[in-house]
Structure 1
């Protein structure tokens, strides 16, 4: 009897411990299930292009707040973790590794600089984490040749921008002798190919192509050669600081040649650095806040005023960073909902499954497919210029 009693008692103790374990584990598992989903950002948050990173964070943050207010991703909230790449490819790659491997972000967003994004692309594909570009326009960021591609973009694409710049130069300036002044990096190379291809389609040829470095403070020698070639339009590709040096060098030369530019000048304090002539530079954008805009744009502008002390439209420059990031976050949220998990491959396939999204820039219909990872196309650009610090549409 004593033996039987001991066995019976032992079974009660074991059963009690198992029940207690279940009770203790249940709250933990519940809490784990409700942990927020992290999304990451690697962008220029300091230096001459800091305004671009600021704009991207604002666009992502407003969209995250909207997603969370609507119940999050299957009940889980989103939270943003950002790192400054200082416009340096090496630092950008290190930041991407930290966010993906240590912070366990479900998706990673990229910033202004194509060289930084290009440094991250192979790693993102290797670890099968969706990487969404919201500014960098280098064609081979998304068209990277990977058999298993995890890189998407809601932004301009150099291959399309080249055609837009050439069309504008022909229509606006009736160019016969276009020339190029390009930053000497992979982004400049990407645009050189795009511009040459487009010029060839229009039976035109560049009379000169000049390169310059990010830290050059005098571009007069390169511009002098372009002037001597008879150039009647300059295609410019560079970000804020180097673009401003081109404009100041032209001013010193007294050469009043039209500049048709990629969107690099929009990324920071361009007119402050370039001087009054900076307002004569015409450049592409995917979106601007303006006097007449959609209800969604008015709603986003109201949130910017409430959350970031925005008072005028000049305070939301560059609007393109806000809009691209806002739409990219909502598209990513749809992909995560369709995935039903934070698995990278499931999210990648979730992007392909998006049917329609009424965004800030446009209404997206089947924006992604295995053969197309760019949500914006050649018809999604407008030309703009600066007026008293505000980016204003030209047409």
Structure 2
């Protein structure tokens, strides 16, 4: 009996040793926080992009054998809530990086906290140039902050270049009203367009700032029509669907072109019950524009997984997770400083383009470089429920259509 007990104990120890050995061989997950207001189209796009990238990476074996684990933080569109969530993510949940954030006001508030807590933070939705300027002005303390979506001035550059090609050369437009929401990100957006649009042949006959809580656009559209422009150039994201729905219902006989942060996703088409028809928006990429070998496969996988097309924020967050994977593999660690150094040296071809970050001596430190060979974006138009890429010429799959209400 004593011998049997010894055998049982030995077997138990052996089993325990095997179990412990198995546990020892299972490396801890790489914890990444995802932050946004998830009830909004843009917030859902951020979460979906992170989810798809994580699922793909884990299905392929993880990052050097380590699984990626996402923890979500809903900031409720509040800077104070976001700061508390950011602190909890790093101090309590021990995340090794954070991605996301749609509102620029929140990204600006979180940037100093990324520096204080020494955690890599990749912004994938907020566009205010002020973020890149903060990193530049406070480098190297703020070196942990990066952005995988174009800053507002680069978005404005893309809008301006597309307006020159499409609005001026193809449609013959000569004048525009600039209608943008009153938010942190539109300051540099407006500033760039007020100089650039006239340089490509579009005279700005009026520039209208719209409060983000505006509910009735009737007097705004009346003022715009009274200025007799050829086109409305927009810069909206926080406002949501109100201007588009009312533009459609009032049959305003002018195309809405420019940038609408929510109109890049087919969820917006559904939310507006098709009122988006005819709207033109600049965005990161589209399901029919093979900017890189990864663009279309990602867009198709995203549509299949979430039953909506990928918005700019989806592309940006998907790329952000892969940027972290790439940096971890090159640095061999998730420690903040070497991981940040690796992100600074990134030269990564993602779904939205070739991503190379600006350096400390560049205008917007740790923003993506814009232009041929890097990230450029596309302009799409909603035509009868489908996104049609109409710019740039080398990525276009169709032609721009005039305003559906032009004969009003």
State the TM-score bracket (shorter-chain normalisation). 0.7 to 0.9
Give matches, 1:169-318, under 5 Å: 169-174=163-168, 175-199=173-197, 201-202=199-200, 206-239=204-237, 242-251=239-248, 253-264=250-261, 265-266=263-264, 269-290=267-288, 296-297=294-295, 299-300=297-298, 303-304=301-302, 308=305, 315-318=307-310
Q: CA deviation at 1:289?
A: 1.5
State the partner residue of 2:378: 382
Q: Alpha-carbon deviations, 1:177-218, whole Å to 9, x = none? A: 322211112123232222223236547653222222233210
Looking at CA atoms only, which structure, 1 or 2, has the larger radius of gyration?
A: 1
State the partner residue of 1:116: 106
**Inter-partner Cα distance in structure 1 for 2:260 and 2:348:** 25
**Inter-partner Cα distance in structure 1 for 2:320 and 2:342:** 13
**Inter-partner Cα distance in structure 2 for 1:201 and 1:128:** 43
Give matches, 1:326-341, under 5 Å: 326-341=318-333
Q: Alpha-carbon deviations, 1:329-377, whole Å to 9, x = none? A: 11111212333333222211011233x434223344x545444412351
Bigger share in helix? 1
Gaps of 5+ in 2: 1-15, 391-395, 397-408
Residues paired across the two proteins, number: 361
State the partner residue of 1:344: 336
State the partner residue of 1:362: 353
State the partner residue of 1:100: 90
Deviates more, 1:158-167 or 1:261-270: 261-270
Distance 1:140 1:76, change over 3 A: same
Contact 1:155 1:376 in 2 (8 A): no
Gaps of 5+ in 1: 1-22
**Inter-partner Cα distance in structure 2 for 1:131 and 1:109:** 6
Distance 1:378 1:326, change over 3 A: same
Query: If the length of structure 1 is used for normalisation, what is the TM-score?
Result: 0.79
State the partner residue of 2:155: 161
Distance 1:390 1:40, change over 3 A: farther
Distance 1:300 1:250, change over 3 A: closer
Contact 1:154 1:376 in 2 (8 A): no
Distance 1:119 1:291, change over 3 A: closer
Distance 1:386 1:87, change over 3 A: farther
Q: CA deviation at 1:80?
A: 0.6
State the partner residue of 1:41: 34
**Inter-partner Cα distance in structure 1 for 2:154 and 2:300:** 32
Q: Alpha-carbon deviations, 1:284-336, whole Å to 9, x = none? A: 11111228787645654665477x3x5xxxx2323433322222111111212
State the partner residue of 2:13: none
Over the residues paired in the alignment, what is the CA RMSD in angstroms? 3.3
Distance 1:245 1:69, change over 3 A: closer
Contact 2:96 2:119 in 1 (8 A): yes
**Inter-partner Cα distance in structure 2 for 1:173 and 1:203:** 9
Query: If the length of structure 2 is used for normalisation, what is the TM-score?
Result: 0.77
Contact 1:110 1:135 in 2 (8 A): yes
